[in-house]
Amino acid sequence: MTPRFRIPADILCTRTRPRPWAALVLLGTLLGCSSPRDGALEEFSRWHDNARAQAQAGALSWSELYKQSFDRLTALPPSLQQDTRLENTVLLLSTARKFESNEINAQQFAAERNDIESQLQARLR
């Protein structure tokens, strides 16, 4: 019995031949995927450090800092670090709003802010 369709022998050989360029494509893809995320987080960190300095100087309200942080974080590519930062930003925003509405005093706000930020640093290690 003869098969209805014949596959030329040269096609079969090319499918089993190793392709050295495939490893380079895979490596390039993997390296390319991790780079923008890291760059975006570094850019966010630079922005956050500057905005935090503005909040400490009184040029920016603490709640506005954390609201902008939340907005910028949600625009970043998804990652575990992004999730961790978002969780802490929500806590910090809530604490800042309590401070600005006089539910807690400046010392309580500073203590809670330092505690939340310390927990963030520990989780990011």
DSSP state of 78: P
Q: What percent of the chain has pLDDT over 70?
A: 70
pLDDT tens across 27-43, in order?
Answer: 444 444 444 567 888 99
The pTM of the whole model exceeds 0.75: no
**CA angle (45 as vertex; 41, 49 as ends), nearest 5:** 170
Give residue limits of the domains in the chain. Answer: 81-125
CA distance 114 to 118: 6
CA-closest candidate to residue 92, choices 125, 51, 57, 59 = 51
CA-derived radius of gyration, the chain: 26
Residue that is written with structure tokens 């500057």 in the block? 50
pLDDT of residue 95: 97
